[in-house]
């Protein structure tokens, strides 16, 4: 059965977006990090995202600029099946995208019960928080970026109880990023 994996960037002070909702601070490119990103783009699974992340990614990855700057990542992002969860989005036109308007947790439970590739959330803090609270996230891959923002939103801002995690691995990069992989404790 598929696992639900979260891959997200956070600042050293714990924010996934800054006070204005921006996350450009998370893009600290160098050759080592770019190779890691290309190797892991989408994790080979189905991508899950909320409206804001969908609109950001759908406006970039299908463009010639994305194909020129990161051809491997662009091919994977455009080719992978995607599910966007939104009550307000009228349609989802990015290739291989399904729009789901209701029952986030129920739909994810259904996808986890069916055979298929892993489910991967890139960004989408609001759905990460909801799915974490529902006990549906199996693994968290958190990229800690060497920057303090002072304000913003946290990945778990709506979580109402403790979420115990078990460290599985760490990897540091020359650009200062550190990837921490945690399994959800059952």
- 100-151 confidence digits (pLDDT tens): 998 999 999 999 999 989 999 988 888 999 999 999 999 999 999 999 999 9
The pLDDT tens digits of the residues spanning 26-47 come to: 877 788 887 887 777 656 689 9
Q: What integer pLDDT is reported at residue 23 of this predicted model? A: 86
Q: Is 57 exposed, middle or buried (0-12, 13-18, 19+ CB in 10 A)?
A: buried
Distance in angstroms (rounded) separating the CA atoms of residues 181 and 170: 6
Asked if 23 and 53 touch (Cβ cutoff 8 Å), the reply is no
Does this model's pTM top 0.95?
Answer: no
Q: HEC states along the chain? A: CCCEEEEEEEECCCCCEECCCCCHHHCCCCHHHHHHHHHHHHHHCEEEEEHHHHHHHHHHCCCHHHHHHCHHHHHHHHHCCEEEECCCCCCCCCCCEEEECCCHHHHHHHHHHCCCCCEEEECCHHHHHHHHHCCCCCEEEEEEECCCCCCEECCCCCCCCCCCEEEEEEEECCCCCEEEEEEECC
pLDDT surpasses 80 at 86? yes
Residue ranges and CATH numbers for the domains of the chain are 4-20+43-164 (3.40.430.10)
Average pLDDT, the chain: 91
Residue 156 has φ and ψ, to the nearest 5°, of -115, 35
pLDDT surpassing 90 at residue 67: yes
pLDDT tier at 60, thresholds 50, 70, 90: very high
Give the 3-state secondary structure of 6-25.
EEEEEECCCCCEECCCCCHH
């Amino acid at each position: 059965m598929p696992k639900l994996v979260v891959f997200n960037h956070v600042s050293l002070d714990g924010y996934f977006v800054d006070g204005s909702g921006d996350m450009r601070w998370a893009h600290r490119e160098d050759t080592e990090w770019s190779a890691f990103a290309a190797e892991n783009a989408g994790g080979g699974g189905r991508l899950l995202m909320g409206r804001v992340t969908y609109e950001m990614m759908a406006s970039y990855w299908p463009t010639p600029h994305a194909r020129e700057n990161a051809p491997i990542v662009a091919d994977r992002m455009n080719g992978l099946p995607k599910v966007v969860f939104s009550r307000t989005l009228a349609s989802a036109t990015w290739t291989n995208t399904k729009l789901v308007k209701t029952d986030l947790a129920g739909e994810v439970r259904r996808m986890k019960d069916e055979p298929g590739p892993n489910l991967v959330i890139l960004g989408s803090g609001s759905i990460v928080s909801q799915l974490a609270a529902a006990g549906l996230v199996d693994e968290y891959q958190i990229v800690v970026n060497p920057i303090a923002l002072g304000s913003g939103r946290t990945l778990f801002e709506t979580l109402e109880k403790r979420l115990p995690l078990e460290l599985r691995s760490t990897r540091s990069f020359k650009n200062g990023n550190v990837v921490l992989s945690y399994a959800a404790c059952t």
